[in-house]
Copies of this chain bind each other. A is one copy, B any other.
Amino acid sequence: MANTVLMDHDLMHTVEELGQQLRIDAVRASSAAGSGHPTSSLSAADLMAVLLARHLRYNFADPQAAENDHLIFSKGHASPLLYAMFKAAGAISGAELLTYRSRGSRLEGHPTPRLPWVEFATGSLGQGLPIGVGLALTGRCLDRLPYRTWVLCGDSELAEGSVWEAFEHAGWAGLDNLTAIIDVNRLGQRGPTRHGWDTAAYARRMQAFGWHTIEIDGHDPAEIDRAFAEAVSTVGQPTAVLARTRKGRGVSAVEDAEGVHGKPVADPDQAIRDLGGHRNIHVEVQPPARRQRPTSFRSKTPALPTYQTGEAVATRTAFGEALAAVGDARPDVVVLDGEVSDSTRTEFFAHAHPERFFECYIAEQQMIAAAVGMQARGWVPFAATFAAFLSRAQDFIRMAAISRASLRLVGSHAGVSIGQDGPSQMALEDLALFRAVHGSTVLYPCDANQAAALTALMAGLDGISFLRTTRGDTPVIYEAGETFPVGGSQVLRASLEDQVTIVAAGITVHEALAAADQLADDDIRVRVIDAYSVKPIDAGTLRQAARDTGRIVTVEDHWPQGGLGDAVLEVFADGAEPLPRAVKLAVRNMPGSARPAEQLREAGIDARAIAAAAKDLLARLSGASPSLLFHDHEDFSVLCAKSLHDHERKQSRGAAHPSRVADSSIFVPVSALLTGQFFLASPAAAANSVSEIPGTVARTES
């Protein structure tokens, strides 16, 4: 319901006073902290005073209430103003306000959801409006509730392209439940914006994108109030209120001044005097109009698609079919895609559940942001595009982690194996990018049944999870119905004679199995581990494999940095034992166009390369055996001297740090005892007698 009652003189005065109080509290907070952005807060104080007192429909006592309006400070650095609003609303105390930016305080430098009334972390500009679009879509299409989403934007951040993805999507969809309040204070961080106070320049642009615009004096409460009322009552178009304001408004030392962005005011006492001294206004923020029974969902267990072992099915296809099944079972699952649903296979869900499918067109930032908005209202979004193009939204993903958002991101067309489209379409860094997202889960299925299972599993995961799918068909190797827990792995080949462990994921699992077959022909047994859970990775199984075999080959359709190989190595970085012998196979050269099998071969990550790496690792000696099994003392002395000699010869080529040893001492590797890394180096007779000890390889030194 729009607040169309005009403000009478008393009310206007109160709102003006509230604006001044918000300013004073913003100054006090940043001065107490010794840092912060008071001038950016001061410009928007009247806008927020009017919003808080007159138009925001929000229950501070029940922040989760479904009917609540949403307020996003896209200009997150104006956090002092936001916290001043919380104080005015009685949500926080004056004492807490002054804990701003101090260690342990909920009032962080930029807003985060540690506060119950903050849904999204902001601070990276240009993100609030796209997220607001997500909320507006949710209100209209999913929740079917009339709440309004208010987004306070700065003018500088309108330079971000993501903002125009938002203007396009909202204008096109006619999201009249979305209101952007633009604080046009003409000054960016470093200096004036391009357009200064020329609000008409912004208005033209926004109108072209289908928005209704209102240009006002951002320090005139009556104008602000009329504009907000107009925005609320405008049907069929979202509205942008373009408010001309002065940065640092109300504090003469900094008002409209350059060079003071992001600094507390030099003289806060004078500032407070400028602002007319302390007020003590409490705002009774009007709660939303009516209370509805919250939507509750009846979920069933999904009837996942099943695939027969031996079939060749692309994991992207299985993902798509599984997602549709999950959508059947769970009415809270929604799907977003970036114009490539026929490639990612979200098309199956789109056909089955068009009312829960959101085509975002080629605008990945808006797509991710919309998902962030939707999950804040309890919906369960999956967002998909080519894995390579998820990087277009990397900063949004980074901020989503700070928002503690739960997103299920699916990237198809991973690796060189996509074939002839070439490197622009290949994701070769996505495992690295997603491992480096705080609290993320990174999953990479190798077959269709596993892909289906992981898709269903992701629906229940918190935080940011990423599923990497493959373009081409791969053999089904798992039975339908098998479970694949997060943090688990599948040991596909194992024996007591394993000499090398191959750790693979996704498409390289099949190459690893073929390599294992090739090696078996040469009587070399290898362990094959499908590390489908790249993060968290199955440390226990990997440690056991290191103990049992002592040698690890990792192989991934990905650059060498940051992906599966690093995830494996990381397991051993806990200081407990020496790092295992490990070799990372990965894509090292920039690919061109070629067929998938050619790509894998050229990249050195196919079965042939894996087998060769395993053999190489077995044959490798770095100057001496890792440990030597001797039958008696004398042999050791002989060998020891010989090895020392070798060692010293090596050392002389580099920095010298000789290890000296008393001739009669014997060094005992209990670690070798534990890891079973035994090489026998002694006369042949002795070699025979101990060769039945598991883990030993008999070698005789010449």
Contact = CB atoms under 8 A, between A and B. Distances in A.
A566 interface: yes
- Among A105, A633, A668, A670, chain B packs the most CB atoms within 10 A around the CB of A670
A362 B561 contact: no
A401 to B, nearest CB: 8
Interface string A530-546: 00000100001000100
Interface residues of A, number: 167
- Among A103, A547, A598, A620, chain B packs the most CB atoms within 10 A around the CB of A103
Given A161-B160, A161-B165, A342-B190, A672 B669 contact: yes
A76 B422 CA distance: 11
Contacts of A433: 394, 429, 432-433, 436
A362 B633 contact: no
Contacts of A613: 575
Contacts of A633: 633, 666
Contacts of A480: none
Interface string A635-660: 01001100110010000001101011
Interface in A74-116: 76, 101-105, 107-110, 112, 114
Contacts of A668: 627-630, 636, 639-640, 666-669
A551 B563 CA distance: 24
- Among A544, A578, A676, chain B packs the most CB atoms within 10 A around the CB of A578
B657 A548 contact: yes
A223 B457 CA distance: 56
A109 B422 contact: yes
Contact of A341 (B190, B421, B437, B594): B190
A159 B544 CA distance: 50
Interface in A540-593: 540, 544, 547-548, 550-551, 554, 559-563, 565-567, 569-570, 572-584, 590, 592-593
Interface in A596-651: 598, 602, 613, 616-617, 620, 622-631, 633, 636, 639-640, 643-644, 647
A122 interface: yes
Nearest to A167: B164
Interface stretch (A58-66, A238-246, A292-300, A690-698): A690-698
Given A102-B594, A628-B668, A643-B670, A660 B693 contact: yes
A549 to B, nearest CB: 9
Given A636-B668, A667-B670, 5 more contacts: A102-B594, A123-B424, A562-B562, A640-B668, A667-B669
25 contacts: A101-B420, A108-B593, A112-B423, A160-B362, A160-B363, A190-B359, A391-B395, A432-B433, A433-B433, A436-B561, A561-B567, A566-B570, A570-B584, A572-B579, A575-B582, A575-B616, A624-B670, A624-B673, A626-B670, A627-B667, A631-B665, A639-B668, A659-B675, A660-B694, A666-B668
8 interchain residue pairs of minimum CB distance: A161-B161, A123-B424, A669-B669, A103-B594, A562-B562, A164-B164, A429-B436, A394-B394
